Structure 1
Amino acid sequence: MDAQLIELARAAGATVVTLMATDAWERTRDGIVSLWQRASPSRAEGVQDELEAARDDLLAARESGDELTEQELRDAWTGRVRRLLTERPDVATDLRRILVELDPEVGDAPRTVRMRAEASGSGRVYQAGRDQHITEQ
């Protein structure tokens, strides 16, 4: 599979899961379901149900502080999108358009984030390539 399609699948998985817990959820769900309706109509309804179940899992995980579930959901949706792109590479253009509509920062080009930090003694380092939530007690 083309490296650009793999990167596109990764961006889609991350964007879909990130937007599950936002006000953009309905647009996100509708956009992804419409993609499946064009590419594989017989699976579109199942994808919608899976998206709804994933959102429920994500919201419950965030409420309980379970960060691992969020990463697992990103990986799962990345895999689903990658398999769709493997079967139907022609829908990549539609997927890019949907992602740009949902998150204009995604764009067409892959992004690289490099971070480096050092801490010593009791120092702390917090880095994020996107949203970061820190709760200290």
Structure 2
Amino acid sequence: MATDAWQQVRAGLVEWWGRARPEEADGVTTALEESRDGVLAARRVHDAGREQALVDDWQARLHLLVRENPALVGELRCLLDEHLTPVLPVWEQTRVGSIVMKATASGRGRVYQSGGDLHVSEQ
């Protein structure tokens, strides 16, 4: 939300949202602008908690929308992969994505999995 490519990102998300819920397109535009202002303000004062709260809010909105209409998942993935993620700075692109991990342990076996840093200390 704080990148120079904001107009492209906003337009893509509003267009996608408008196909799912046309009656909400204008409201989403306004909400995105307000959230962007909030992200920029939070970054100016180094308020990571406030910025994360805005991210969490949009994740919840998107989750609700695709939970109500699972057919939108593919379109959202396409929007993220082809239009939104590429305009992020490289260091932020690594934060976007999905990880699927499966593991099986039996007997006395142990499984340690992580999508990021992992530190295991055993005695």
**1:64 and 2:45 correspond:** yes
Determine helix, strand or coil for the equivalent of 2:71. helix
Structure 2: how far apart are the matches of 1:69 and 1:114?
A: 23
For residues 12-57 of structure 1, what are the alpha-carbon distances to aligned partners after superposition, in whole Å with 9 as ceiling and x for unaligned?
xxxxxxxx11122111111111111100000111011000000001
Q: Which residue of 2 aligns with 1:92?
A: 73
Q: Could you tell me which of 25, 29, 35 is aligned with 2:16?
A: 35
- Structural RMSD (CA): 2.0
Q: Which runs of 5+ in 2 are unaligned?
A: 87-92, 100-113
Structure 2: how far apart are the matches of 1:38 and 1:115?
A: 38
Structure of higher CA gyration radius: 2
Q: Which residue of 2 aligns with 1:78?
A: 59
Q: Which has the higher contact order (CA 8 A, sep 6+)?
A: 1
How far residue 113 of structure 1 moved from its aligned partner, in angstroms, is 2.5
Structure 2: how far apart are the matches of 1:110 and 1:59?
A: 26
Structure 2: how far apart are the matches of 1:116 and 1:96?
A: 27
Count of residues paired in the alignment: 97
Structure 2: how far apart are the matches of 1:77 and 1:38?
A: 18
1:1-137 to 2 correspondences below 5 Å: 20-101=1-82, 102-104=84-86, 110-111=98-99, 113-116=115-118
Structure 2: how far apart are the matches of 1:45 and 1:97?
A: 22
Determine helix, strand or coil for the equivalent of 1:70. helix
Q: Which runs of 5+ in 1 are unaligned?
A: 1-19, 118-137
TM-score (normalizing by structure 2):
0.71
TM-score (normalizing by structure 1):
0.64
